[in-house]
Structure 1
Amino acid sequence: MLHDPLTGLPGHALLLDRLEQSLIRARTRGTLVTLVLVTAPDSVLDAARSLRSGLRPDFTVARFHEKVLAVVAEHDFGDGSPIASLVRQLVGDSPRVHWVTSDGNAEPDDLIATAAQH
């Protein structure tokens, strides 16, 4: 599904495509990609709205699973901790937030699996 009918956000398939494109740009431009997975504590719709309005417009906010949202952020340096902190702040209510940063030398599925484990 390209777009999630509840939130209007990109769905799982579009998330994978955008993540793959971000990883390619990271490899070719020497930048970084951070993937943040957040399990919405209450309303996925409220969390989606908060993330979409509170994050940079070039970040991808997608619905990964039923109660899990994903954020794909491209950046020039550092790790993903400031992005993960901002996500946590925007969603509130102590969500479970997992994140990983890559220089582009990873496959989308591997990056998702790594983020889910952290």
Structure 2
Amino acid sequence: MKGNFIMAVRDISMGTKVGLELVTDKWNALTLSHLTATPTGFMTLRRQVRGISTLRLLTVLAKLTQLDLVISTDEYEYGLTAEGLKLQTGLANLEAWGNQVITEMQ
């Protein structure tokens, strides 16, 4: 890896801490990665996010909705807000960077 980057947790801004807490939870990240701007039915999403329990998915969706990243409809469908789409793009960029680092390490 290029250079060493070490930062104490106390040196990270509160916004960074909140963002990291959100995206380092695998269920948050997986749920965000399976949603689009077009709402998806709960059971479809439940099948796509493999391994998550129904209760956990409901909890994740409630949290993401509270953070204004996800919208829900009266028909139990869920989609990404504009902010959710931005975060999803950021996660895709992070994944691409991680894949590049892995490739360079080999």
TM-score normalised by structure 2 residue count: 0.25
Task: Give the structure with the larger helix fraction.
Answer: 2
Report the TM-score when normalising by structure 1. 0.24
**Which protein has the bigger strand share?**
1
The structure with more radius of gyration: 2
Greater length-normalized contact order (CA 8 Å, ≥ 6 residues apart): 1
